[in-house]
């Protein structure tokens, strides 16, 4: 969209000079970011697009198109209807998109698309204020199990969103039965939730680490558990939930899908290109720089992972009454 809108903004004559510099030659490969510029999906398309052409895995440049609407649903519907067999098209998605699908908020089910790979993830964390009496995940779980209504929890998603579901997965492991009784407050972003916690409005935050890392470093908040396989490289001292006996992995992964009628060969070709990209120092550096942990799951493994994740989300959404 950027480039297309650039040509359309041509009326602003003063921009013409700056535009010609960015009006790159048209290319066959296109990556759609189903959001406005600046968001996570936009980052996925721009970074992967840039590295794909730097490594010469595609001819020319990758055109990035922004198509916001319906938390990705507008793009999903368009690809399903018009470009299901277009092997030159990749679309950015993440856990957020899969949550929407699992709760039936996309026009078609998960199987409509072919899921290529995830290349990195933001790690979910459970955090409390530095002054909080709760010191460990075990203490948090005890408190929630004793009285689910005793703590106010919050994050950057609404009820039934990924931040909420990851917290409930932890609570479920801890033996909390009435998941719906846990109070959940939605904020517009992880930092909003953290600052409200510092202001004493809420007790616990469940969100991605990337956005709130600054508050951990400054000592304003304390992470009780990282929901990752391995300890986070930037904070090696923070224990994972798994190491504390709570078997929950809560990545907010970044990945790509392509149309459902793309052939097996074309699908395999994309997966192998993306694997090359994943292993390149360029991607490892770009991902780490923006707070992501590089993690690879591709091809059939990724398809299976996505389906399993959607099932867990659907089940918990049902349990807490977000969907019927």
Partner 1 sequence: MEILSLLGQGFVVAATPLNIGLLLMGCFIGTLLGALPGLGPVNGVAVLIPLTFAFGFDPTSSMILLCAVYFGCMYGGRISSILLNIPGDEPAIMTTLDGYPMAVQGQAANALAISGVASFVGATIAVLGLSLFAPVLARAAIHFGPADYFALYILAFATIGGIAGVDPRKTLLSALIGLLLATVGLDPISGVPRYTFDSFHLYDGIEPIVALVGLFAISEILMLLEMHLKDRPKAIPVGSWLPQWGAIWKTRAAMLRGSGVGFVAGVLPGAGASLGSFMAYVAEKQWSNKKGTFGKGDPRGVAAPEAGNNAASGGALIPMLSLGVPGSGTTAVLLAMLISLNVQPGPLLFERQPDLVWGLVASLYMANIALLILNLPMIGIFTRLMMTPTWALMPVVAAVTFVGVYGISNSVFDLEMMVAFGVIGYVLRKMDVSLVPLVLGLLLGGDMERNLRRAMSISDGDWSILIASPISIGLYILTAGFLVLSVWLAVRDHRQTQAERLTEG
Cα angle, residue 115 at apex, residues 27 and 232 outer, rounded to 5°:
100
* Token representation of residue 7: 């040509």
Strands 204-208, 30-33: pairing is: unpaired
Q: Whole-angstrom Cα distance, residue 175 to residue 156?
A: 24
Residue 298's alpha-carbon distances to 162, 231, 256, 272, 287, in angstroms, are: 22, 22, 10, 9, 17
Residue found by looking up tokens 């895995």 in the block: 57
* Token representation of residue 32: 């759609």
Q: Whole-angstrom Cα distance, residue 208 to residue 191?
A: 10
Burial class (CB in 10 A: 0-12, 13-18, 19+), 55: middle
Residue found by looking up tokens 């990724």 in the block: 302
What is the closest distance, in whole angstroms, from the C-beta atom of residue 266 to partner 1 in the complex?
26
Q: Which is nearer to partner 1, 210 or 299 (CB)?
A: 210
Q: Which is nearer to partner 1, 52 or 246 (CB)?
A: 52
What is the closest distance, in whole angstroms, from the C-beta atom of residue 226 to partner 1 in the complex?
18
302 phi/psi in degrees, rounded to 5: -70, -45
DSSP readout, 170-192?
A: HHHHTT-S-GGGSEEEE-SSHHH
Q: Which is nearer to partner 1, 88 or 122 (CB)?
A: 122
What is the closest distance, in whole angstroms, from the C-beta atom of residue 276 to partner 1 in the complex?
22
Residue-level length of the chain: 324
What is the closest distance, in whole angstroms, from the C-beta atom of residue 217 to partner 1 in the complex?
6
- H/E stretch holding 265 reads helix 264-279
What is the closest distance, in whole angstroms, from the C-beta atom of residue 69 to partner 1 in the complex?
6
What is the closest distance, in whole angstroms, from the C-beta atom of residue 94 to partner 1 in the complex?
15
Residue 324: CB partners within 8 Å, gap ≥ 6? 318
Q: Which is nearer to partner 1, 183 or 266 (CB)?
A: 183
Q: Which is nearer to partner 1, 65 or 309 (CB)?
A: 65
What is the closest distance, in whole angstroms, from the C-beta atom of residue 309 to partner 1 in the complex?
17
Q: Which is nearer to partner 1, 196 or 276 (CB)?
A: 196
Coil, strand or helix at 25: coil
Q: Which is nearer to partner 1, 3 or 296 (CB)?
A: 3
What is the closest distance, in whole angstroms, from the C-beta atom of residue 304 to partner 1 in the complex?
26
Q: Which is nearer to partner 1, 106 or 253 (CB)?
A: 106
């Amino acid at each position: 969209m950027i480039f297309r809108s650039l040509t359309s903004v041509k009326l602003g004559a003063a921009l013409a000079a700056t535009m010609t510099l960015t009006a790159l030659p048209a290319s066959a490969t296109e990556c759609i970011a189903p959001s406005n510029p600046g968001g996570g999906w936009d980052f996925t398309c721009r970074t992967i697009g840039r590295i794909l052409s730097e490594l010469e895995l595609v001819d020319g440049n990758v055109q990035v198109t922004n198509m916001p609407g319906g938390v990705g649903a507008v793009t999903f519907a368009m690809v399903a209807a018009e470009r299901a067999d277009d092997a030159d098209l990749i679309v950015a998605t993440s856990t957020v998109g899969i949550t929407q699908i699992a709760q039936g908020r996309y026009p078609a089910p998960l199987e409509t698309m072919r899921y290529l790979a995830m290349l990195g993830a933001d790690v979910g964390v459970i955090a409390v204020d530095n002054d909080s009496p709760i010191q460990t995940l075990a203490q948090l779980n005890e408190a929630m199990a004793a009285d689910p209504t005793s703590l106010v929890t919050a994050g950057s998603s609404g009820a039934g969103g990924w931040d909420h579901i990851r917290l409930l997965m932890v609570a479920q492991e801890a033996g909390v039965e009435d998941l719906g009784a846990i109070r959940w407050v939605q904020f517009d972003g992880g930092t909003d939730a953290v600052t409200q916690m510092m202001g004493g409005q809420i007790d616990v935050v469940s969100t991605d680490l990337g956005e709130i890392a600054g508050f951990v470093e400054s000592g304003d908040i304390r992470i009780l558990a990282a929901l990752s396989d391995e300890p986070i490289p930037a904070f090696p001292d923070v224990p994972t939930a798994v190491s504390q006996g709570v078997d929950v992995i809560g990545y907010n992964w970044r990945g790509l899908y392509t149309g459902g009628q793309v052939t097996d060969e074309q699908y395999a070709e994309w997966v192998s290109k993306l694997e090359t990209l994943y292993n390149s120092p360029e991607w490892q550096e770009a991902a780490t720089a923006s707070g992501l942990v590089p993690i690879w799951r591709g091809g059939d493994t990724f398809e299976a992972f996505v389906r399993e994740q959607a099932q867990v989300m659907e089940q918990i959404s049902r349990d807490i009454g977000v969907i019927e």
